[in-house]
Amino acid sequence: MDVMNGRTVKGVNFLNLRDAGDPVELAARYALEGADELVFLDITATHEKRKTLAKLASSVAQAINIPFTVGGGVASVEDALVLLHSGADKVSVNSAAVRRPELISELAARFGSQCVVLAVDARQKENGWEVYLNGGRIATGIELFTWVGEAVDRGAGEILFTSMDHDGTRNGFANEALLEMSQRFTVPLIASGGAGKMEHFADAFIKGKADAALAAGIFHYGEVAIPDLKQYLFNQKIPVRIS
């Protein structure tokens, strides 16, 4: 769930954001429907130089009984500690880690790699994939797989890869990039950006070899129900937890 000013929002290609509801209410609903994990990303925290979501993390922790990750503006061990003490199971880092990669090493050393999720937003260019910062506002010139490799070496325990080109389009995930990432790195890989129908999830697992698939809009607006999706994946012989 992308969060801005305490509300869940959803856009297309990181633009044209619209309200999607209260994040705590949505979290409780998705937990009841059988979601395996939730991710909350404050998409303007870094851009607006704000600290993150301790109050939201505390409220979510009281409302659900499944693991959840919180990110947005995490720039220090202290920032992460506040979120974990507030009830989050993992913290996500993005822009601050690109600017100071040592942050990943510090977090992994303090909390363990299992708590550290690298969120990476990228666009496909003529010569490859380029990493972007601050909610997709700033191009870095950094090549995607080079950055992910360094992050994994420093202790990132999961990769949450969002294709900005696919985000919100409902045309499917960036499966070729996912496949390359899954072949290069051994940590769990979460596909994000582009889910529009149940078949797209199957493609992410079969073609992209992703370990998990994240979606927002199709769940927020009731276009796909989580129990139906899980049953579909189960029928496709894809390992999935059926509650």
In this structure, what DSSP letter does residue 115 have?
G
Please give the structure tokens belonging to residue 100. 């100071």
Q: Name the catalytic one among 42, 79, 89, 121.
A: 121
SS3 183: helix
Q: Look at residues 58, 57, 60 and name the one whose alpha carbon lies nearest to residue 71.
A: 57
Beta strands in the chain (DSSP E): 2-4, 7-12, 15-21, 38-42, 68-71, 90-93, 116-125, 128-133, 138-143, 158-163, 189-192, 212-214
Q: Name the catalytic one among 2, 42, 79, 203.
A: 2
Beta bridge partners of 192: 162, 214
Amino acid at 38: L
The yes-or-no answer on residue 2 being catalytic is yes
User: Could you identify the residue written with the tokens 């992209």?
Assistant: 208
Give the residue numbers marked as catalytic: 2, 121
